[in-house]
A = this chain, B = another copy of it.
Amino acid sequence: MENLKGACIIGQSGGPTCVINASAQGVIQTALANENITRVLGAAHGIKGVLADQLYDMGQEDPAELDLLQFTPSSALGSCRYKLADPDVDDTDYKRILEIFQKYDVRYFFYNGGNDSMDTCNKISKYMQKVGYPCNIMGVPKTIDNDLSGTDHCPGYASAAKYIATSCMELYQDARVYDTGTVVVVEIMGRHAGWLAGAAGLASWAGSGPDLVYLPEVDFHMDQFLADVKRVYEANGTCLVAVSEGIHYADGTFVSEAKTSATDGFGHAQLGGLAVMLADVIKEKMGVKVRGIELSLLQRCGSHLASKTDVEEAYLVGKAAVEAAVSGMTDHMVGLDCVRDESGYHCQTKLVPLTEAANTERKVPRAWINAQGNGVEQGFIDYALPLIQGEPQRPLEGSLPRFAKLKKVLTTEMD
C-alpha cells in the first residue's frame, strides 16, 4: 500500500437522494482536514465534470455552508448518468481522466452513487492500476432504491422510506374521510427492487397505512389485484393501495407499459403513470371513486422527513472512504455492516471490493413478502424500522428549509 499525497476529487452520480450531500460533506470535511490530501476538488456533474475539466475548489467554500450539506437534498455538485465505455473497446475517456488526474495531481478519487456509479468507479480503478498511475479509488454508496450489493442498506434509502411511510400514514387518514368510499392507488419508485414500496408497509404496521402493497419481487396478476381491492373495499368501504413502479406481469412486461388491448380487458394505454392507470382499471371494473397518486421526485428529495440515522450513516460512509483511501486502501466501496438484536441496532462501516458491489442487484427476500404477494412480513419491518429512526435538527429560516449555498468556484489551475 502506498502512502499517497496529492489532490482528491469527489463526484456525485445517478439519481440524487436526501443524504447524498451528507456523504459529500463527510468526504469533503474529512479530506480538507487530512494532511495527505493537498486539495479537495468537487466534480461538476460527476465524471462528466472530470472529463470536461470542470472542478470546483472545495477549499474555497464557507465551512458553515459545508455543514449544511447534510440537510440539503439532491446532488449539490450536480450529477450525471454517464456510462463509461469498456476500456478494451474505447479508452478515450480513460485517457482523458488520467490526463486530468495528472494535471491536478489527483491521488484520491471518491465516487458517490449506486450500481452504475460503482461500475464507473471500478472501471477507472482498474484502468489506473493497469497504466500504473497510483491513485486510491473508493466508492461511496447511495441510492434510494437500496439495491446495491455488499451493504446492509444504502444511505438514501431510509430517508425515502421514511417519507413514503409518513406520507402513506397521512394519506390513509385522508382517503377514508368520506362515507362514499374511494380507492386510492399510490405509486412508489423502485424499478427492479421493492425496498421503497415495502416501506409503505411500515405505515400499515403503524396502523395507518395501505391495505395492500405490491412489490416487483412478486409477479403481478391483474385479476388477483382486482379481487384483492374488491375484497378490502367491500369490507371497509375504502382501500389504499401502494404499488411499486416496477410491478410486472409474469412474462416480465411492466404493468406500466402494458398497451391497450381489446382482448384482455385490462390493458390500458399509459395515462400519466401507473397509479392513474391502475385507478382507471379499478374504476372501470368496480365503478367506484378512485384516485391515483405518484410520489414522484418528492420521495427522493423530501429532506424535511430525513432519517437522522440515515444522515449520520451517509456522513460516515463518506468519512470512512477518505480514511480508508488515505491509509492506503483502494478499489473498494464502503458498505454498512449492521446488527439488529435485543440490544438494538448497531451499524459500522466495512469495505467491499468494487467488483462485488458493481455487478449485482439486491432484491427484497421473498420471505419478507406475504404469501399472497400483497403486503410485507415482520422481517421487512424489523429490517427497515431501525433505519428510519431519528429527526435531524434541520436549520430553518422563516420556517422554511435553509439549504447549503455553495460558491462552486471552478478551478483550472494546477494550484
Residues of B within 8 A of A301 (CB): 170-171, 173-174
A202 within 8 A of B: yes
A304 within 8 A of B: yes
A301-B171, A385-B398 given as contacts; is B177 within 8 A of A16 (CB)? yes
A389 within 8 A of B: yes
A45 within 8 A of B: yes
For A178, the closest partner residue in chain B by CB is B79
A401 within 8 A of B: yes
A104 within 8 A of B: no
A391 within 8 A of B: yes
A272-B271, A293-B297 given as contacts; is B178 within 8 A of A78 (CB)? yes
Q: Scan A299-317; emit 1 where CB is below 8 A from any B CB, else 0.
A: 0111111010000000000
CA distance A105 to B273 in the complex (A): 52
Residues of B within 8 A of A271 (CB): 271-272
Q: A271-B272, A272-B276 are in contact. List 9 more A-B contacts (CB 8 A).
A: A16-B174, A16-B177, A73-B173, A162-B400, A166-B401, A169-B401, A175-B297, A206-B400, A291-B297
Out of B167, B178, B401, name the residue touching A45 (CB < 8 Å).
B178
Residue pair B206, A397 in contact (C-beta under 8 Å): yes
Residue pair B166, A304 in contact (C-beta under 8 Å): yes
Query: Which A residues between 162 and 194 are near B, CB-CB below 8 angstroms?
Result: 162, 165-167, 169-171, 173-179, 184
Residue from A179, A206, A298, A397 with most neighbouring chain B CB atoms (10 Å): A179
A294 within 8 A of B: yes
A399 within 8 A of B: yes
Residues of B within 8 A of A170 (CB): 73-74, 298, 301-304, 401
A396 within 8 A of B: yes
Identify the 4 closest CB pairs spanning chains A and B, nearest first: A272-B272, A74-B173, A174-B301, A272-B276
